[in-house]
Structure 1
Amino acid sequence: MRSTAEDLTTRARIRDAAIGLFGRDGFARATVRSVAAEAGVSPGLVIHHFGSKAGLRDVCDQHVLAQTASQGREKADPGTTRLLIQDYLNNPHEYADEIAYIRQSLGDESDAGDAFFDGVVSQTEDIIHTGIKAGTIRAFEDVRATAVVIASNSLSMLMLGRHVSRALGTPVSEPHGIGPELLRHLTLPALDIYTHGFYTDSRFLESAREALHHQPSTTEGSMPRDPGNRRRGVA
């Protein structure tokens, strides 16, 4: 992890060791003893600082989310976006533990895994509001839903990195598949879509609005028909 010099305390060293170990081995397999060995301290010292493995994971979650929030704010500013991209291209190894940790969190079907995803969505929502206020991001009708879409699209690259690399013919960076060459291939197409949109006009958007307007929501007490009944000829 990219800790500052001021952050290199014993507590921070344990946290960073845990982030690397959790990312490599997963949360279930990693133990307090293995984290302690990785950090070069005693298991008792890990418990002293964090109370339990769950407490340690919570601190790791907050640290990684703080890192992604910082990067997200940089992405909301055109000038610092260039610096962030260049930093990753020049130092991809410094992001490896963070990426592996995020992948483990996204694949972890637990309350902690759910909270981590919710944290990313909330950060994305904050970034959108910041960009709207700064005039770099346009206003959206539903910022929360937009944040879910953007966060899901961004995070999916971490889960599908190996397949995306194969599809583009770029070297597969193990173990997560996200490497500098993949970033070089995807950055401009992604920003082109976000900048100029995908469709040439709003006809698809208006068609969807019309369809949704005439289709009652299931939360309003109207359940959709069973398509199986339709196939069987049942009204």
Structure 2
Amino acid sequence: MRSALPPAPTTPGTEASFETGDLSASGRIVRAALGRFATRGISGTTVRDIAADAGVSPALVIHHFGSKEELRRECDRRVIAFLRAKSQSRPGQVLDATFSRFGAYAARMLTEDSPESRSLFDELVAVARMVVDHAAEDGSLRASSDPDAQAVALVVLGLAPFAFTASLAHWANDDAEAAMRRLAVPIAEIYTTGLLRDRAVLEAARATEASGA
């Protein structure tokens, strides 16, 4: 099931990861914010940074969005709107498209403990649960004893490469794109054919869950 795999995006966190035809000032500001927040986080980004990337004045950013925090909320709204707009597509395609366009942003935002981050996580998990349900029904995915946790696992594993962008770039001689491409096959192998030949790890995990330890 392709949707379980983290895609190989263009440079993570850049404007290329945000598909939009909105060339208005507000659209450019949101695009710039998505890129900056993905690479620098909220605290590491200033309104002046975003304005410079968008080619507008800091005052115009405040005029449109009121504050950096509200701009972050608008970025989340765009991601969630994208998910909902694609809801008529196959669920796996929605998850793929979302990770491709917003993986770096989502990975960075979900490291925070805030109502906005929790809402974004909930939306991603809801789509992942659709993936689990549909794929288990058509036989393309092995059903789990805990489909809710399986959906969360898809989100966590799908976003993991984006959370390690800096380390992956270091591993691949400062080329994050090359690292993503190189990881694609072994990750696909793990999803498709599995990793371990015995069941010891699985049985241990089940025993731990059953004991509540």
Q: TM-score, normalised by structure 2?
A: 0.66
Question: In 2, Cα distance between the equivalents of 1:27 and 1:119?
Answer: 20
Q: Are the equivalent residues in 1 in contact too, given 2:30–2:74 (CA < 8 A)?
A: yes
Q: 1:134 offset after TM fit, Å? A: 4.5
Deviations 1:77-116 (A, max 9, x none): 6xxx8xx8xxx8xxxxxx6xx4543343134344434443
Q: Residues 49-198 of structure 1: matches in 2 within 5 Å? A: 49-64=64-79, 76=92, 98=102, 100-164=104-168, 170-173=172-175, 178-179=176-177, 181-198=178-195
SS in structure 2 at match of 1:148: helix
Q: Are the equivalent residues in 2 in contact too, given 1:76–1:136 (CA < 8 A)?
A: no
Q: Sequence identity of aligned pairs in percent? A: 33
Rg: which structure is higher? 1
Check 1:212–1:43 CA distance in 2 against 1; reply closer, same or farther (3 A cut): closer
Instruction: Flag structure 1 segments of 5+ consecutive residues without an equivalent.
Output: 89-94, 218-223, 225-235
Aligned to 2:12: none
Q: Aligned AA for 1:8?
A: L
Q: TM-score, normalised by structure 1?
A: 0.61
Check 1:212–1:44 CA distance in 2 against 1; reply closer, same or farther (3 A cut): closer
Q: 1:16 offset after TM fit, Å? A: 0.7
Q: CA RMSD in A?
A: 3.5
1:20 matches 2:40: no
Q: 1:38 offset after TM fit, Å? A: 3.2
Q: Are the equivalent residues in 1 in contact too, given 2:91–2:130 (CA < 8 A)?
A: no
Q: Aligned AA for 1:122?
A: A
Deviations 1:102-131 (A, max 9, x none): 343134344434443444333322332343
Question: In 1, Cα distance between the equivalents of 2:77 and 2:26?
Answer: 14
SS in structure 2 at match of 1:185: helix
Instruction: Flag structure 2 segments of 5+ consecutive residues without an equivalent.
Output: 1-14
The number of equivalent residue pairs is 190
Q: Return 53-62 or 27-36, whichever deviates more.
A: 27-36
Check 1:11–1:161 CA distance in 2 against 1; reply closer, same or farther (3 A cut): closer
Tell which has more relative contact order, 1 or 2 (C-alpha 8 A, sep 6+): 2
Question: In 2, Cα distance between the equivalents of 1:46 and 1:157?
Answer: 31
Question: In 2, Cα distance between the equivalents of 1:113 and 1:145?
Answer: 18
